[in-house]
Amino acid sequence: IIRVLQAVAGPEDVPVFERAIAAYEPTPADTNGPTILRAAGLVALAAVDPRSAALQAVTLLARPDRSSHMTGEPALTAVRVLAALGEEMALYLFALAGLSPLSVAHATSPEVVAEAARGLSSLPASHLLAMFNVSSSNDAVIEAAFIDVAIEHSPDAALTTWLATFLRTTRNDDLYAFAVTSIVAKHGDHLLATLQSVAATETAPARLRTLESSLAMLAGDSRVDAALAEIRTRIALSS
């Protein structure tokens, strides 16, 4: 009903959406309908009263006990609303609190923290690096979000160095493959140069194959053809 009403809603419907956001059932059943209702109410409120929606989103994030551990809702929707409204400072504070091992918010769902981090790709690189460095988590979901942020950010030497270091040091082959394919999909000059630099020293056969299969999508591009030929030579020698 809230979602249908959203299409024709006006300021007079704000109280309805606020009641939806406040809906809560103090039983395990809250993880079903009520969490979805709170999320729908927040999205609808954002369309008619962005300032109130931002305040409600922050309120929801301050109450992790009111979000489902299974779906992350309505916290996931709250961070997306804040990102859509350009409320970067609130997202940054939430992400830092969720990442810091000294914070009471450290137990926040990794999926929600990762979503908050993804909304921060326009922050100055120094602040993003501070966020990356405060994390003591080896959670793949959060690390994947950091990769996304570094790739989506405008060219920056410090972030490029961070990304290259991550590729050289991570022990997670799945994250390595995710980063490589994401860089190829973005194919910015500075990112491809970073990938070429990493590829030049890579020796692990599985990672060489990851590099080969990803860079093959850009075959014919003079920026990658030489690197691709070298990778294929090393794969053949390791067989």
pLDDT of residue 120: 96
pTM of the model: 0.88
* CA torsion through residues 118, 120, 125, 127, sign: negative
Phi, psi of 13 (to 5 degrees): -95, 0
- Please state at what angle helix 173-186 crosses helix 189-199, rounded to 10 degrees: 140
- Identify the CA nearest to 66 among candidates 22, 112, 116: 22
pLDDT in tens, 104-155: 555 678 999 999 999 999 999 999 999 998 876 678 999 999 999 999 999 9
Residue with tokens 């994250």: 175
Residue 3 has pLDDT above 60, yes or no: yes
Query: How many other CB atoms are found less than 10 A from the CB of residue 205?
Result: 13
Long-range Cβ pairs for the range 168-173 (8 Å, 24+): 168/198, 168/201, 170/143, 172/140, 172/143, 173/206, 173/207, 173/210
SS (H, E, C) 178-216: HHHHHHHHHCCHHHHHHHHHHHCCCCCHHHHHHHHHHHH
User: For the ranges 10-14, 29-33, 158-162, which has the lowest average pLDDT?
Assistant: 29-33
Band of residue 100 on the pLDDT scale cut at 50, 70, 90:
confident
Q: How far apart are CA 202 and CA 196, in angstroms?
A: 10
pLDDT at 29: 83
User: What pLDDT is attached to residue 101?
Assistant: 75
User: How would residue 81 be classed by pLDDT, with cut points 50, 70 and 90?
Assistant: very high
Q: How confident is the model at residue 184 (pLDDT cuts 50, 70, 90)?
A: very high
| pLDDT at 35 > cutoff 60 | yes
The token duo for 102 is 């000294």
pLDDT in tens, 216-237: 999 888 878 888 999 999 999 8
